[in-house]
Structure 1
Amino acid sequence: MTLRSVIAGVGSALPKRRLDNAELAAQVDTSDEWIVERTGIRTRYIAGEGETTATLATEACRKALAEAGMDATEVDLIVLATATPDQTFPSSATKVQALLGIRDCIAFDVHAVCTGFLYALSVADAMLRGGNARTALVIGAETFSRILDWEDRTTCVLFGDGAGAVVLRAEDTEDRGILATRLHADGRHGDMLYVDGGPSTTGTVGKLRMKGREVFRHAVVNLADVLGEVLEASGLTPDDVDWVVPHQANARIIDATARKLGLSPERVVLTVDRHANTSAASVPLALDVAVKDGRIKHGDVVVLEAMGGGFTWGAAAMRF
């Protein structure tokens, strides 16, 4: 038998407020038609008073634990991917730990923006297979609405808030689990998607800035490449894949990436229309949707992929 990291439960959480394109068009110079044509986005959720990255992450974790039939006290590792932590420190992972009532476990944040969940999943997988923990909560959670320039129509329409989480458990199995992960970064392109602030530069939080056309071009190439890498590392071909769960940045990027690899659109999970781009939360949010509606079943070969600011990008292949 082989020690592998198996997903035992999935959960997600969204803020109470739903913001559709028509309402957004009343606040900024845009339209529903313009947003849908260029991005596929129709609505998004925006965090309100009392809703933070940590509270959304905790709600998602509780649902994932309930699906796994496990108690929070069984968790000995929490890895939370976010670019919008509640505070500079302590980590939002330790806040989730406290909110779940866990007295002692490994807990830390990972910051790789939209690729964050893939980075967190890879780190947790390595720690579980290395014997550092037995049960992990891997989370992607964001409140991007709080770093948006709501007067910039090219960016504020693209993002939303939310959280997704998986319970990852080390098991001796040949039939299920994470088969391979591949991660990359190229900091030379940091000026294409960034926040113009930070504690050690401006002393302010800053706002998100993006060169959309350049990001699109890099995303299609990088995502297709890393999907090819992770399939090769897993001994799989595109025909073996039951479902692709991509980062939900833009419907056109997702479609172009699938075409480049020859993947059928019917096998790609698409939730960007209802959630918009939730950065590190988008992959686990989409995964939870597809598990809950019955598309993704035990035994399915599932590939996850994402790219974010930095640039960072990565993919994971698993037998669910």
Structure 2
Amino acid sequence: MSINIISTGSYATDEILDNESLSKMVDTNDKWILERTGIKTRHIAKYNTTEELASKACERALKDVNIDKDEIGLLLFATISSDTKVPSSSYTTAGHLGIENAVCFDVNAACSGFIYSMTIAKSMMKDMNYKYALVVGSERLSKFIDWTDRSSCILFGDGAGCALLENSEYKNELLKGKNNSKVYEKQDEYLENEVSNNLIKLEIKDAILGGIYDKKKYLTVDSKDKVSDEVSPFIEMNGRQIYKFATDIGVKVIDKLLKKNNIKNEDIAMIVPHQANKRIIQTLAEKSNLGIEKWFINLDKYGNTSSASVPIALDEALKNTYLKESRGKYLLSLAFGGGLSYGGILFKIK
């Protein structure tokens, strides 16, 4: 009896901005960017809204399974770049998908948003008896980028990723109160087998969420200057301080999740981290004693897509790697970002 990811999807536009093109816009070059970040290209959504990116990612997750969309009871949308404050991106996306009766709301935890949303979804699905939930992270960060600032414009891109969750503890309301164990056994068997595809499943085993108040404003968007009262619409980041924060808290999250669940390093088949910077990932791999070969990295193609980063990477990891050979082992995902927020989630590979 569990909450499982049964399908994933991701989407990025065909408009690609590579390092060579960036070097014509700002004083930088391909070698400089690669050495400092590991990023080669990023996708820019010139003609799609944040919600449209999300809808396309969700459509890809839904097409791989045969479920009734009316049984999706929850849609959580992690983003810092929604197109409207009201309605929320979650409701707009639900409308695009033809989902009419779901509880919908947005989560703003910056780059940790998808991890936060997955944890919330797990609790709500159990407590409120939802059969299915969609959790999506989608960002159009390009609208917040100062293309004259070479320290930040090289880092970010646009995209969306989605996970479809199934509640194996779900009980049909019509069956409640009936003393018929055979009916329940049959329903449980149905729930375990109703999704027929070649994708592996990930059971959510545990999660850690946390945050530290960003008193010195190391990472901001739409930040108001206390002296001039002017608002900067751009992403502003102290890269050195974010690096220190990420490499410190990331190791602590990994260590706590493993110790809490009595899991050894060799039981971890893969780590899917927030795709912020290759140097951060390399440092985390070294400090956690989890070899870099276990860390899934795709930031060279997408750059940092904030809350979309983990679900895009998760989708590619599930569909393009050896994980089918790792059933019974564990996958760990972690993220860190503005707030300062952080989180980690532990999955069992099924």
Distance in 2 between residues matched to 1:182 and 1:78, nearest whole Å: 21
Alignment-derived partner of residue 174 in structure 2: none
TM-score, normalised by the number of residues in structure 2: 0.86
**Alignment match, 1:47:** 45
Moved >6 Å (runs of 4+): 201-205
Q: How far off is 1:73 after superposition?
A: 2.5
Task: Report the CA distance shift for 1:204/1:259 in structure 2 as closer, same or farther (over 3 A).
Answer: same
Q: Deviations over 1:180-217 (max 9, x none)?
A: 0000111144500111347xx97967111001011101
Aligned-residue offset at 1:89: 1.9
Return closer, same or farther for 1:87/1:176 CA change in 2, 3 Å cut-off: closer
Name the aligned partner's letter for residue 60 of structure 1.
A
**1:319 aligns to what?**
348
Q: Deviations over 1:265-320 (max 9, x none)?
A: 11110001011000000001001111121333354411010000110000000113
Within the alignment, does 1:181 sit opposite 2:207 as a pair? yes
> What 5-or-longer segments of structure 2 have no aligned partner?
170-187, 193-200
Which whole-Å CA distance do the structure 1 matches of 2:107 and 2:216 have between them?
Answer: 18
CA shift digits 1:54-85 (9 cap, x unpaired): 00111111111122332433211000100101
In structure 2, the partner of 1:148 is 145
Q: Residue 305 of structure 1 corresponds to which residue in structure 2?
A: 334
1:23 partner letter: S
8 A Cα contact 2:6 2:202, kept in partner = no
| One-letter amino acid of the counterpart of residue 52, structure 1 | T
Aligned match of 1:287: 314
C-alpha RMSD of matched pairs (Å)? 2.0
Report if the CA contact (8 A) 1:176-1:299 is conserved: no
1:251 aligns with 2:249: no
Distance 1:295 1:53, change over 3 A: farther
Structure 1 residue matching 2:64: 3-state secondary structure:
helix
Paired position in structure 2 for 1:193: 219
Alignment counterpart, residue 34 of structure 2, candidates 26, 33, 36: 36
Q: Secondary structure at the match of 1:187?
A: coil
Residue 32 of structure 1 and its aligned partner are, at CA, apart by 0.5
Determine helix, strand or coil for the equivalent of 1:216.
Answer: helix
1:209 counterpart = 2:207 = no
1:137 correspondence with 2:134: yes
The 3-state SS of whatever aligns with 1:73 is: helix
Q: Which residue of 2 aligns with 1:77?
A: 74
Cα pair 1:190 1:311 within 8 Å, conserved: no
1:223 Cα shift? Answer: 0.6
State the SS of the aligned residue for 1:107: strand
CA contact (8 A) 1:6 1:170 kept: yes
TM-score, normalised by the number of residues in structure 1: 0.94
1:188–1:243 Cα change, 3 Å: same
Contact 1:39/1:158 (<8 A) preserved: yes
After superposition, the Cα gap between the structure-2 partners of 1:89 and 1:204, relative to the gap in structure 1 and judged at 3 Å, is farther
The residue matched to 2:98 in structure 1 has which SS? coil
Q: Which secondary structure state, in structure 2, belongs to the residue aligned with residue 184 of structure 1?
A: strand
Distance 1:193 1:316 in 2: 23
* Per-residue Cα deviation, 1:139-184 (whole angstroms, up to 9, x for no partner): 1110001011111100010000000000011115999610100001
Match of 2:245 in 1: 218
Give CA deviations for 1:225-260 in whole Å, capped at 9, x if unaligned.
011112223321221100000000000100100111
Structure-2 separation of matches of 1:89 and 1:98: 14
Number of the residue aligned with 2:162? 165
Aligned residue for 2:163, secondary structure, equals: strand
Does the residue aligned with 2:240 lie in a helix, a strand or coil?
helix
- Paired amino acid for 1:276: G
Please say which of residues 223-232 and 5-14 is displaced more in the overlay.
223-232
**How many angstroms apart in 2 are the aligned matches of 1:114 and 1:45?**
17
Partner of 1:270: 297
- Report if the CA contact (8 A) 1:248-1:272 is conserved: yes
Q: 1:236 aligns with which of 263, 288, 305?
A: 263
Q: 1:40 to 1:176 in 2, by over 3 A?
A: closer
In structure 2, distance between residues paired with 1:270 and 1:121? 21
CA contact (8 A) 1:176 1:319 kept: yes
Give yes or no for contact 2:38–2:277 (8 Å, CA) kept in 1. yes
1:264, CA displacement in angstroms? 1.1
CA distance in 1, matches of 2:347, 2:218: 31
| 1:34-113 equivalences in 2 (<5 Å) | 34-49=32-47, 51-113=48-110
Deviates more, 1:225-234 or 1:114-123: 225-234
Structure 1 residues 190, 96: CA separation in 2 closer, same or farther (over 3 Å shift)? farther
Question: How many residues matched?
Answer: 315
Percent identity over the alignment? 37
Question: Quick one: which amino acid aligns to residue 332 of structure 2?
Answer: V
